[in-house]
Amino acid sequence: MKHPEAYRKLRFRKPTPCKLTHERTGKALAQRLMAAKNPLQQGLGLIGRKLPPKTGLIFPMPRKERFRLHMWFVPEAIDVVFCDRTGKSLVVKDVKGGFRPFTAYKAREEAEMFIELPSGAAKGVRKGDRLSITPAP
Cα dihedral 97→78→3→108 (10° resolution): -30
> Using CA atoms, how far apart are residues 37 and 59, in angstroms rounded to an integer?
7
| Amino acid 132: pLDDT | 93
pTM score? 0.90
Of 26, 25, 30, the C-alpha closest to 10 is 30
CATH code where residue 22 lies: 2.60.120.1140
DSSP 51: P
* Number of domains making up the chain: 1
| Amino acid 62: pLDDT | 86
Q: Print the domain residue range for 123.
A: 5-135
Please report which helix (H) or strand (E) contains residue 115, including its range: strand 111-118
Please list, in sequence order, all residues whose beta carbon lies within 8 angstroms of the beta carbon of residue 5, skipping any fewer than 6 positions away.
none
| Amino acid 3: pLDDT | 46
> Using CA atoms, how far apart are residues 55 and 105, in angstroms rounded to an integer?
21
Cα dihedral 25→46→44→86 (10° resolution): 0
| Amino acid 9: pLDDT | 65
**pLDDT (tens digit, 0 to 9) for every residue of the chain, 137 residues total?**
344 555 566 766 678 888 999 999 999 999 999 888 888 888 888 888 889 999 999 998 889 999 999 999 999 999 999 999 888 899 999 999 999 999 999 999 999 999 999 999 999 999 999 999 988 76
